[in-house]
Structure 1
Amino acid sequence: MDEVEFLRGRVYGADHEDAGPRPERVYAHLVGGPLDGLLLDVTDRSEQELREVALTTEIGRYGPGGRALYARRENDGRRLDWRGDAPGVL
């Protein structure tokens, strides 16, 4: 993915009217699974927090409230790879 295509991406959790990335923030690209192609704002997240992230989604295996699990790619910190889905927290 080139830089121009990256900057056109939509950000996970952002409002539809303001879904583009902001220049002062740091993003990782979500690869695979229900959130494939979205960007995740990782500006304030530690390396430990990015080992695995559970992101709420309406379109995963467990439907509304379910989670899509992503983990940081070992050799590319700008990408998080899909690891599977999990039910939401009760």
Structure 2
Amino acid sequence: MDELEFMRGRVYGADHDDAAPRRGRVYAELVGGPLDGLLLDVTDRPDDESRAGVALPTEIGRHGPGGRALYAPREADGRRFDWRGDIP
């Protein structure tokens, strides 16, 4: 199994040993970019914050450790967040 396949369906920010989705939580799928295939827990995020998108810290983006990957929800499907680029 390669790294991308290993990460797919895992929850962003969760401990590696316990990264499966949890019952009763709401997730959005991250599409494209360095976090492609991961799930983002959006259960407690206000709607306006989710619509604006998120900057998620990641060590595997263009800017390496300390960088962030930008994701924004699709207009037609708010359960999928598309990659918009990386920032330092």
Calculate percent identity across the aligned residue pairs. Answer: 79
Q: What secondary structure, in the 3-state scheme, does the structure 1 residue paired with 2:83 have?
A: strand
Q: Is 1:45 aligned with 2:73?
A: no
Cα distance in 1, alignment partners of residues 15 and 41 from structure 2: 13
Q: Map 1:1-90; keep pairs closer than 5 Å.
A: 9-50=9-50, 51-87=52-88
Query: 1-side partners of 2:31 and 2:15: how far apart?
Result: 21
Q: Which amino acid aligns with 1:73?
A: R
Name the structure where helix makes up a greater proportion of residues.
Answer: 2
Structure 2 Cα separation of the partners of residues 79 and 63 of structure 1: 24
Secondary structure of 2:40's match? Answer: strand
Displacement of 1:30 in angstroms is 0.1
- TM-score, normalised to structure 1, is 0.86
Gaps of 5+ in 1: 1-7
State the distance in 1 between where 2:80 and 2:46 align.
15
| Runs of 4+ with >2 A deviation | none
TM-score (normalizing by structure 2): 0.88
Q: How many residues were matched structurally?
A: 80
Q: Give the Cα separation in 2 of the matches to 1:86 and 1:58.
A: 12
Question: Could you list the runs of 5+ residues in structure 2 that have no partner in the other structure?
Answer: 1-7
After superposition, the C-alpha distances for 1:18-58 in whole angstroms (9 at most, x for unaligned) are 00000110000000000000000000001211121000000
SS in 2 for 1:69: strand
